[in-house]
Amino acid sequence: MVKSYIRRAYSSFTAHVFDIPPRLMAFLFLLVLLVIPVAGLNPYYLSVMIYANVLAIFAASWDLLVGRTGQISLGHALFFGIGGYSTALLFKFFGLPTWVTIPIALLIGSSVAVLIGFPCLRVKGPYLALVTMAFPIILHSIVKWTTLSHIFEGEYGIRRLPAFFASLPIRQQRIAEYYLTLILFFAAAVIIYKVANSKTGIVFVSILDDELASKACGINVTKYKLMSLIISGLFGTLAGCLQAHLLKVSNPSMFLLTWSFTPIIVTFLGGIGTIYGPLVGAYIYYILDKYFLAIQLPRLCKYFGVTLPGEFEYAKLLIFTLIVLVLVIKWPRGIARFTTDKLEDLEEARDLDERGPRIWKRYERKKK
């Protein structure tokens, strides 16, 4: 009785108060992000937001390739590391400024996408996933190799890269970096979203739905797969370049499996196949990781008089992975998609086909 009243009240509330069109929501999201530095945020949180922007670009590029085109890649760290290392090597050997090295790095990244596209796109499904996983591991060993340490500087990586806006004082520099990454993040989001919803994007989804049928419709499947890989690789490389210049170092850890799995985790947090899901997911990831687990949880424990042991560092990733595991099993639609559905619809998704990509249905698992 009470429950039904509450549900009715809730549904009328969500239907009439929160009936916000997605475009307005995106605008509000950007507006909030724009005023954050003005609100005088602690520099620590600001740097967390900067890395969240970079991760958002990276994860959105993964989502275009996997969530929209269905080419499962477990090795997106390849582009991340290629970006970091090519901008670092160009700086090291030619002393070029940052605004020259990053575009060249983007070119290199897309050529690498074409190169690995030839062996990779011939194989399908689990073969593709495992083959893509191999490339970053190969490059990780090569850049760590001591024989080549005069080029890649081994384990420590290429250090002392130029930072963005190095002439400004530290606080202004953080804010400038934040706006730079935010603008790039927004540009990348708009481009990827527009590509995903253009005619080309529809072809991508058709390849995901049924490759054979798309082939039968006269679509040059390989061309579109390669196109998706190139766009995805381009933005992955951009994220790598940004990360390298923000940390002022490119080291072999950029090729590690961790960087291949982070975009996957982020995308699943937000909702796969929606482009905007990973953007939100990256923020959720960093807020969970760097705010709740790193700051609020120890504070809470202190309040209750519990001191956290030194092993808590390990437990942090454990907690995080458990959250993701439960999310993937119990809530495969992701947080962002769930929220938009709640905001726009009453109880069930009313016009799933009309509102968004059809592939949402593909990731729906029926309850037993």
Partner 1 sequence: MIEEIIIYSTISGGVYALLALGFTLIYGVSGVVNLAHGSFYMLGAYMFYVLGPKVLELPPILAVILAVVFVGVVSSILYRLTIHPVLGDEVGVMVVTVCLALIFQQLMLLVFGPPNVPVAPLIEGSVPIWGVKVTYARILAFAISLVLFASLWIFISKSKIGKAMRAVSQDREVAMLMGINTEKLYMLAMATSSMLAAVAGIFISGSTSGVAGAWIWMYPLALSFSIVILGGLGSIKGSLIGGFIIGYAEQTVIIVAPEGGQIVSVVPFTVMVLVLLLRPKGLFGKRIEMED
- What backbone torsions phi and psi does residue 250 show, to the nearest 5 degrees? -120, 115
Q: How far is the CB of 325 from partner 1 (least distance, A)?
A: 4
Q: How far is the CB of 318 from partner 1 (least distance, A)?
A: 4
Would you say 198 or 321 has its CB closer to partner 1?
A: 321
Q: In this structure, are residues 224 and 202 in contact, taking their beta carbons and an 8 Å threshold?
A: no
Using alpha carbons, list the distances in angstroms from residue 87 to 46, 109, 191. 24, 10, 23
| DSSP summary character for residue 368 | -
Q: How far is the CB of 342 from partner 1 (least distance, A)?
A: 22
Would you say 98 or 262 has its CB closer to partner 1?
A: 262
**Binding track, positions 128-157, relative to partner 1; x by CB under 8 A:** -xxx-xxx-xx--xx-xxxx----------
Q: In this structure, are residues 204 and 358 in contact, taking their beta carbons and an 8 Å threshold?
A: no
Would you say 98 or 232 has its CB closer to partner 1?
A: 232
Q: Which of 35, 107, 321, 361 binds partner 1 (CB under 8 A)?
A: 321
Name the H helices within 64-169: 77-94, 98-120, 125-144, 149-152
Would you say 174 or 333 has its CB closer to partner 1?
A: 333
Would you say 134 or 191 has its CB closer to partner 1?
A: 134
Q: How many CB atoms lie within 10 A of CB 308?
A: 13
- What backbone torsions phi and psi does residue 158 show, to the nearest 5 degrees? -85, 115
Nearest-CA neighbor of 357 among 217, 216, 196, 224?
Answer: 196
DSSP 66-95: IIIT----S-THHHHHHHHHHHHHHHHHH-
Q: How far is the CB of 129 from partner 1 (least distance, A)?
A: 6
Q: Does 123 bind partner 1 (CB under 8 A)?
A: yes
Would you say 192 or 359 has its CB closer to partner 1?
A: 359
Would you say 141 or 172 has its CB closer to partner 1?
A: 141
As a whole number of angstroms, the distance between CA 161 and CA 248 comes to 5
Q: Does 332 bind partner 1 (CB under 8 A)?
A: yes
Would you say 171 or 361 has its CB closer to partner 1?
A: 361
Q: Does 82 bind partner 1 (CB under 8 A)?
A: no
Point out which residues pair with 158 in neighbouring strands. 250
Q: Which of 15, 114, 295, 317 binds partner 1 (CB under 8 A)?
A: 317
Q: Which of 178, 235, 255, 268 binds partner 1 (CB under 8 A)?
A: 268
Number of residues counted as binding partner 1 (CB under 8 A)? 45
Q: Does 325 bind partner 1 (CB under 8 A)?
A: yes
272: left (phi over 0), alpha (psi -120 to 50) or beta: beta
- What backbone torsions phi and psi does residue 147 show, to the nearest 5 degrees? -65, -30
> Taking the chain, what is the end-to-end CA distance rounded to the nearest angstrom?
27
What is the contact surface with partner 1 in residues (CB under 8 A)? 66, 72, 74, 119, 122-127, 129-131, 133-135, 137-138, 141-142, 144-147, 257, 261, 264-265, 268, 272, 311, 314-315, 317-318, 321-322, 324-325, 328-330, 332, 363, 365
